[in-house]
Amino acid sequence: MTIAYDVLIIGSGAAGLTAALALAEHKRVLVLAKGSLTGGSTAWAQGGIAAVLDTGDTFENHVRDTMVAGAGLNDRETVEFVIERAPDSIDRLCELGVPFNRDADDLHLTREGGHSHRRIVHVDDATGWAVQEALLKAAEANPNITMLPGQTCVDLITSRNAEKFSAEGRVWGAYALDEASGKVEAHIARATVLAAGGAGRVYQFSTSPRGATGDGIAMAWRAGARMSNMEMMQFHPTCLYNLEVKNFLITEAVRGEGGHLLHPETGHRFMADYDPERMELAPRDVVARAIDDQIKRYGLDYVHLDISHQPAEFVREHFPTIDEKLSGLGIDMTKEPIPVVPAQHYTCGGVIVGLDAATDLPGLWAAGECTESGLHGANRLASNSLLECFVYGEAAAKDILERWDELPQPPAIKGWDESRVTDSDEEVVIKQNWTEIRRFMWNYVGIVRTTKRLERARNRLRMLGQEIEDYYGSFRVTTDLIELRNLHQAAVLIVESALERHESRGLHYTLDYPETDEVARDTVLVP
Ligand code: FAD
Ligand code: SIN
């Protein structure tokens, strides 16, 4: 058995590449990505990265805003840990050449919902793409980093997969499907970092890319890691409503720079009826619920987001990517309002990690959107996510390097067994199940929930689970099948967590338990 790498990283987004770059000073690192290296959410991020850089702002302000948005479910130690490291993260990104917008010598700071100060560092309205490019460039130039796109990890390798069985539960890498050859290979490593992103595609309407199917969350669960707060799925208030373009985000910074939300027929600025003080800059859960309420109350298809009262030059300068996209669809945002609806946007819950990014499982660290670190609580504050990826990517690398000498050498690992499967002759089952899950998750487990609807979703998931496992046990794996299995697993975790929470808090709003408990408690699911 040859092991060519020291550390395996699953995911080439902000979390995975930050960890890779920090590890590569001392270790040989393999980064695997499903599809292309730029296929995760990182490349799609618009608004920016939150960091206290202005002299009039303080860490305490940022901590308070994060915990107000998170409805008190955040872990204060984690919040401080991340926020205090934000300025250093921005410095490192500047060193990597990320061309952040500037006002003379200072970084330009924009504003987003839930933030009491201007503190969002950004590259126009396409921050994620600039960050992804800079990280990739640095990783490509590093001889200790090998990046393999087109590899869909199927499952983590654990002690159960060792030639000599051990019940230890240690993680030794992952089995991955090579998308080109159709072969599954074992990628064995002494340390594995899971940075596989969120599970947004579990919902019919989502701003997330196609690959956000909760693979990391599902793989960690199957390997034996606990999950927390999976019911906290964030809905972004303003996704473009368009019959052809389904998941284009209109950044929160449009509201931050003065955009108003209006009833499309009366022109009423309806946030005055829901949160008169913070209006459009209330945290996301509040704004998304207000829009959902307007849509349901008045039978609307969408509401309007209007920034046309600002000078056209200002709008074009701040939002060039959005302006270009909308122009292509015949909408001139400098002159007319934009039709918007809420859509799933971010997975706040996930694999439980400590401040060292270590999971429950020896040999497995995790960072980024697939985790629950305690930062976001019941609702993520805008632009705190990329920041979490940088801080936890670094934390994982630091902990692995510190513990390296005590990490055991991998045992002999069994190869992938395909002796009992054949090629699928019924791909239609995958498409059907995928569509079904996403539709009932949207209708039954969306912005406003009830126990009855959650139980309906649970029943359907039970039925589909049996079908999917039968299918998985009979046919050779494909990326679509792997994703369906994970999407289903993520949906189960969301529904089970939602049924466990008997209160409304942050993103979890249920008509059966509308009050908020005095004490905030995490929902923890144990495999
Ligand atoms: P991702 O960037 O999603 O990367 C996941 C990686 O895992 C990918 O490389 C993928 O290929 C790989 N992967 C997944 N499954 C497998 C598998 N089975 N096998 C192998 N590899 C796998 N946050 C902010 O802070 N500021 C913003 O302005 C902002 N804007 C956003 C705009 C949009 C439209 C979206 C969707 C999100 C936005 N977010 C923003 C959230 C933020 O972009 C994400 O939370 C963050 O980028 C997640 O990074 P990550 O490294 O955890 O995962
Ligand atoms: C946005 O630009 O509105 C997204 C910011 C975020 O998700 O943090």
Which tens digit of pLDDT belongs to each residue from 82-92?
999 999 999 99
| Residue 373: how many other CB atoms lie within 10 Å | 26
The mean pLDDT value for 117-121 works out to 96
- Distance between CA atoms of residues 239 and 205, nearest Å: 9
483 alpha carbon to ligand 1 midpoint, in Å? 16
| pLDDT value at residue 246 | 80
Given this model, what pLDDT does residue 306 score?
98
Provide the residue ranges of all domains of the chain, joining segments of one domain with +: 2-231+348-406, 233-345, 428-519
**422 has a pLDDT exceeding 90:** no
Q: Side-chain half-sphere of 95: how many Cα atoms within 13 Å?
A: 8
Is it the case that residue 1 has pLDDT exceeding 80?
no
How far is residue 107's CA from residue 99's CA, in Å, rounded to a whole number? 10
User: Can you give the pLDDT at residue 117?
Assistant: 95
Domain 428-519, CATH class in plain words: mainly alpha
C-alpha 23/C-alpha 97 separation (Å) is 20
Among candidate residues 255, 284, 501, 505, the one labeled active-site is 284
Query: What pLDDT sits at residue 3?
Result: 63
pLDDT tens digits for range 258-298: 999 999 999 999 999 999 999 999 988 899 999 999 998 99
Rounded to whole angstroms, the maximal C-alpha distance in the chain is: 70
Nearest CA to ligand 1 atom 6: 11
Instruction: Say yes or no: CB of residue 251 within 6 Å of ligand 2.
Output: yes
- What strands lie across the sheet with 151-158, from one edge to the other? 151-158, 171-178, 184-188
For the cut 60, the answer to whether the pLDDT of residue 352 exceeds it is yes
| CATH number for the domain whose boundaries are 2-231+348-406 | 3.50.50.60
What residues form DSSP beta bridges with 121? 49, 109
pLDDT at 67 over 80: yes
CB atoms within 10 A of CB 50: 29
> Which ligand has the minimum distance to the alpha carbon of residue 36?
1
Residue 32 binned pLDDT confidence (cut-offs 50, 70, 90): very high
Name the helix (H) or strand (E) containing 489.
Answer: helix 479-500
Count, residues in the chain: 527
Residue 3 CA, ligand 1 centroid: distance in Å: 28
The CATH class of 233-345 is alpha beta
Give me the phi and psi of 498, to 5 degrees please: -65, -40
Query: Using one digit for the tens of pLDDT, what is the confidence trace for 192-241?
Result: 999 999 999 999 999 999 999 999 999 999 999 999 999 999 999 999 99
| CA 106, chain centre distance (Å) | 29
Ligand 1 center to 384 CA (angstroms): 13
- pTM score, whole prediction: 0.96
Q: At what angle do helices 451-474 and 479-500 cross, to 10 degrees?
A: 150
Residue pair 245/198 in contact (Cβ under 8 Å)? The answer is no
Report which of 286, 270, 278 is spatially closest to residue 235, judged by C-alpha positions. 286
From 385, 389, 477, 484, mutation site for ligand 1 pocket: most ligand atoms within 8 A of C-beta:
385
The 10 Å CB-count burial string (b at 16+, else e) for 285-296 is bbbbbbbbebbe
Q: 284 catalytic, yes or no?
A: yes
With a 6 Å cutoff on the Cβ, whether 337 touches ligand 1 is no
Distance of CA 146 to the CA centre of its chain: 24
Mean pLDDT computed over 472-501: 96
